[in-house]
Amino acid sequence: MPRVIYTHPTGEHKEVEVPVGQNLMLGAAAHGIEGIVGDCGGAMSCATCHVIVDAAFAALLPAPDDTESQMLDFTAAPREANSRLSCQIVMSDRLDGIHVRIADPQV
């Protein structure tokens, strides 16, 4: 099963397995990763699952669509070049080892 490395704003890392086809927000929730709130449950209406994707993996992701891009403009933490909503990153074998930093604050 592919792995995701979540880095908390404190610097603490947690590596977990996330099934192919599941988004990174649900993967975080399933493993008790703190900091990814996901208030809307993945409906892309709250931006409380904001993460910054490691540059090595950002290039493997499709560009954010217009809705995600607009939501990223209104996150609590400033938007960065590789900011994404974790509800929009769907796990695949190609993303095995993806490293994301949890944005702080989320709300």
pLDDT digits (tens, 9 = 90+) for 52-99: 999 999 999 999 999 999 999 999 999 999 999 999 999 999 999 999
Inter-residue contact 46 to 69 (CB < 8 Å):
no
pLDDT digits (tens, 9 = 90+) for 43-64: 999 999 999 999 999 999 999 9
What does the pLDDT read at residue 33? 96
Give the predicted TM-score (pTM) of the model: 0.96
Strand segments, DSSP code E, in the chain are 3-7, 13-17, 50-53, 83-85, 98-102
d(Cα 34, Cα 36) in Å, to the nearest integer? Answer: 6
pLDDT digits (tens, 9 = 90+) for 6-46: 999 999 999 999 999 999 999 999 999 999 999 999 999 99
